[in-house]
Amino acid sequence: MFWRFLIAMFCASSVGMAAFGIAMHVIEAARTRDALESPAFVTHARASFVAAAPLLRAAARDPAACAYGLRLLLADLLPPGTLPSDGANALARLLADGRAAVTYVDAGGAACTYPRGVPAVDVAPTPGGAVRTDTGRKRGYRAALDAGGARLALRLRLHGPVGAMAHSPSATWTVGFSFIVVLNLLCALTLVPLLVRRIRRAQRAARAWTHGDTRTRIVDATPDEFGDLARSFNRLADSFEEVIRVKQDLAAAEERNRLARELHDTAKQRAFALSLQLTALKSAAATAPGQREHLVATSVRLVRQLQSDLAGVIQRLSGATLAERGVRAVLAEEVPALLGGAGIGWTLDIPDAVDAALRGAPHVTQQVLLIAIEAVANAREHAHARALAVTLSASGAGYLLAVRDDGQGFDPRAGAGVGMGLVNMRARAHALPGGAFHVDSGPGAGTRVSVAFHLEPEKVPA
């Protein structure tokens, strides 16, 4: 980051200095153009030529003397202020580069040019003696004057802003750029560590947030834009921390409700079945000694299942077990255990294709299994039924669980769902993908509990 800042500052300063130099040259070129094209310059040049005409006429036959006379005349033609005093467009540089020349031709045709060795200037007269400007990459200026039959022509070719900087003979730009390099290095050494330190503090806080530590804050009290940004992020972290706290509270409440539902749907039902078995065992001890062994075996099995249920509350029923055994095998054990000793006949109908499909979604199957267990336990505890049927079948793009008994029934609108039974079944059903819960019952008409659902989208049969 240090070098990025250094390069960025250097480039910005270089562009700024170049823009400043170009602007200064543009202003200087405009001033020079205005001076050369002004009527005052033409008047001054004609007066200077008229004054120097006798000297030039006398020296016209001697090239060296004529060149010397033109040199003196040129200094008078271009007084200080007409051209830049230094740089690539100063008069000395124009003469040295051959971009400035003056040619004299007397009435007899003798001619000389200064500086010597450069091409002569076209002495064809310019109407009114005005300055003609030739536009192009380099701007050219030419003035032609007449005096007593003699003619004088001046030619200048000035560099534009970029050319003037590129051909500048002075060390201004070298010193300027060297100064920029040193200045930027010192600024980077001073300012960049301060800025980088602030950025790294923000990075450390951001890393802590990504690892769950929302208590970390960006320590930056500087009253500038970055400080305002850091304080905004701190307020955002405060909001996140509050949201996380609320979600944790909700999760804890949901977990308590889940444990209550699972205890109700498993352990409570088995405890109730166990109490019935023990009551039947007490009665059989006196009236039917031959049934005692069967009742004892059933009670022992219920105790073991009750222990398993309590472990399942912690483990939320093993998904691997459902995936390995299937819901049909689990219900084939659960239903007789819940109905043992009650004299209720039962049937279980789950096609192989349905059982195989549900093995691929153990989390959905777990909720379906708990709903079925609750419905069977309710049939024994409340319905006084003699027959019960459990079916799980495919229905369109989803599945349908139905538990039907021929018991005394009830009126669903009269608040018969007192307790957690129906509430838990409805909550579990609505938590299923596309889940819908329905109870059909009436006094003396039995009860049918049905749950429609489908698997996760990728598990829905085509």
- Which one of 116, 149, 170 terminates a domain? 170
Q: Which residue has the tokens 């003798």?
A: 110
Pairing of strands 387-395, 345-349: parallel
Residue 3 in any domain: the answer is no
Rg of the chain on CA atoms, in Å: 53
Name the helix (H) or strand (E) containing 345: strand 345-349
Phi, psi of 271 (to 5 degrees): -60, -40
Q: What is the pLDDT of residues 103-114, one digit of tens each?
A: 888 877 788 888
The DSSP element (H or E) to which 283 belongs, if any, is: helix 269-287
Distances (CA, A) of 53 to 4, 142, 146, 149, 415: 65, 19, 10, 10, 129
CA dist 360 and 240 (Å) reads 36
CB 121 within 8 A of CB 133: no
**Among 186, 159, 177, 138, which Cα is nearest to 17's?**
177
pLDDT (tens digit, 9 = 90+) per residue, 45-93? 888 888 888 888 888 778 888 888 888 888 787 777 777 777 777 777 7
Domain boundary among 120, 149, 170: 170
Domain of residue 429, CATH code: 3.30.565.10
Does residue 154 belong to any structural domain of this protein?
yes
Strands 447-453 and 111-114: unpaired
pLDDT in tens, 272-304: 666 666 666 666 666 666 666 666 667 666 666
Q: Which residues pair with 398 in a beta bridge?
A: 395
Expressed as residue numbers, the domain containing 68 is 37-170
Would you state the pLDDT for residue 80? 74
Q: Give the three-class secondary structure for 418.
A: coil
What's the domain count of the chain?
2
Residue 453 in any domain: the answer is yes
Instruction: Give the domain-ending residue among 135, 170, 205.
Output: 170
Would you say residue 335 lies in a domain? no
Q: What's the pLDDT tens digit per position in 191-232?
A: 777 777 888 888 888 888 777 777 788 888 888 887 888 888
* 354 within some domain: yes
Q: Name the one residue in this structure whose structure tokens are 């001033």.
A: 31
Contact 328, 367 (CB under 8 A): no
CA distance 141 to 353: 100
Report the C-alpha gap between 142 and 132 in whole angstroms. Answer: 6
Residue 316 within a domain: no
**pLDDT of amino acid 300:** 66
| pTM for the whole structure | 0.39
Cα 151 to Cα 107: distance, rounded to the nearest angstrom: 8
Please report whether residue 435 resides in a domain: yes
Neighbours of 407 (CB within 10 A): 22
Instruction: Answer for the pair 87, 170: CB distance below 8 angstroms, yes or no.
Output: yes
Confidence of residue 126 (pLDDT cuts 50, 70, 90): low
- Eight-class DSSP state of 459: G
In a domain, 51, yes or no: yes
